[in-house]
Amino acid sequence: MSIFEIPVQRLDGTPSSLGEHHRRATLIVNVASQCGLTPQYAGLEALQVKLGERGLTVVGFPCNQFGAQEPGSAEEIATFCSTTYGVSFPMFEKIEVNGEARHPIYAELVEVADAEGYRGDVRWNFEKFLVSQDGHVQRFSPMVSPEDEGLLAAIEAALG
């Protein structure tokens, strides 16, 4: 089963999937509102605004597995994202990205190695997975900012 077919819920509880983003370049990010990397929300939103019409969709999956940095309810997360960073990209339910309860989407994604050859568990909040229009996946460390030249080049290539 493709990651685009796996059921997931939107942050508001609506059943969904990544299917509506199939055949688009999709940047999947595990996010948190109380992390030192939380300001990356601004860069992610900038990518969505700048490249959305060209075929990029940023999607966020809140996760509380790293330092309990996403303790809020779905409503609190939605309010934080909209009021603090003006997030317009799709936000999905809070999930686990590691361990026994790892969401099936991440079970697929963590099999991909990043540029340094790291494969396996997500290392921290804001790890990024870029899925190209043809389904090729690239992985980027949480420390790679949305403005990083390497990430931007990969997004441009994924847009075709």
146, two tokens: 């949305």
Contacts for 123 with CB less than 8 Å, ≥ 6 apart: 141, 142
d(CA 17, CA 4): 6
d(CA 103, CA 94): 10
E-strand stretches of the chain: 8-9, 15-16, 25-31, 56-62, 128-131, 137-140
Strands 56-62 and 25-31: parallel
- Residue among 35, 56, 58, 155 flagged as catalytic: 35
Q: Would you give the DSSP letter of residue 61?
A: E
Is 35 among the residues known to form the active site?
yes
- Give the catalytic positions in this structure: 35
